[in-house]
Amino acid sequence: MLEVATPRFHFQPTPLAGLWLAQRQPIRDARGFFARFYCAQEFAAIGVVQPLAQINHSFSHQPGTLRGLHFQHPPHAETKVVSCLSGRIFDVAVDLRSGSPTFLQWFGVELSAQAQNSLVIPPGFAHGFQTLEPDSEILYLVTTAYSAEFEDGLHPLDPALAIDWPLPVAEISARDAQRPLLDVATYAGVPHV
């Protein structure tokens, strides 16, 4: 897949098909800058056509805080556009699409306010991140409202995924820490996303 440029964004494909890095193209002057976080018309160029349903905001005090890996099953599978408003994070997406050549592979990227970048995560991926600096704030634009009935997740420290988190884990929720480890053979046969 080729890179896509629009007036306010530069979209770069990742090694996992359908997962994109979005680089905002700010307009700068003596006052500072102006940038768009999202534009439906421009994001349609990479296949994001669902309207936004929620905007979520996350804040973590401590570096090394780990959140995720979360996803929703159909019919509540969602696209997420994840951006870091302050601090820095290591953002990760895991391919959960049955039959995908990159099934259970992950991609990680550093997101920060200074970098003006976002990760565009389509349906069929689990998402998580680790904070790299104190007081990191994250904004998620999502296309489907949260549904507790369809919510699920993977253990972020599962050896079967072997995600190379940059820092030792300082904080993790009990829910995320207690998720079962994958039985990859069983998981591959389950239609989940």
Max CA distance (Å), the chain: 57
Look up 70 and say whether it is catalytic.
Answer: yes
140 an active-site residue?
yes
Q: In whole angstroms, what separates CA 94 from the centre of its chain?
A: 9
Residues 114 and 15 sit within 8 Å (Cβ to Cβ) = no
The burial class, CB within 10 Å (0-12 / 13-18 / 19+), for 119 is buried
Q: Is the pLDDT of residue 26 over 70?
A: yes
Average pLDDT over residues 23-45: 93
Q: Which residue segments constitute the domains of the chain, with CATH numbers given?
A: 4-26+36-145+168-187 (2.60.120.10)
- pLDDT at residue 155 in the model: 97
pLDDT of residue 119: 98
Query: Using one digit for the tens of pLDDT, what is the confidence trace for 72-122?
Result: 999 999 999 999 999 999 999 999 998 999 999 999 999 999 999 999 999
Catalytic residue among 38, 70, 76, 127: 70
Which pLDDT score, from 0 to 100, does residue 190 have? 46
Question: Left, alpha or beta for 7 (phi > 0: left; psi -120 to 50: alpha)?
Answer: alpha
Encode pLDDT of 147-164 as tens digits. Answer: 999 999 999 999 999 999
Q: Residue 75's pLDDT is what? A: 95
Sequence-ordered strand ranges (E) for the chain: 4-5, 9-13, 20-24, 27-29, 32-34, 54-60, 65-72, 80-86, 88-95, 106-112, 117-121, 125-131, 136-142, 151-153, 171-172
Q: What is the bridge-based pairing of β-strands 20-24 and 27-29?
A: unpaired
In the predicted model, is pLDDT for residue 189 greater than 50? no
- Average pLDDT over the chain reads 93
Using CA atoms, how far apart are residues 160 and 134, in angstroms rounded to an integer? 29
The residue among 6 and 125 whose pLDDT is bigger is 125
User: Would you say residue 1 has pLDDT above 80?
Assistant: no
Out of 38, 127, 140, 155, which one is annotated catalytic? 140
Question: Residue 40, by phi and psi: left (phi above 0), alpha (psi -120 to 50) or beta?
Answer: alpha
More confident residue, 187 or 75: 75
Determine the 3-state secondary structure of 184 from DSSP. Answer: helix
Question: What is the signed CA dihedral for 112, 118, 119, 122, rounded to 10 degrees?
Answer: 150
3-state secondary structure of 40: helix
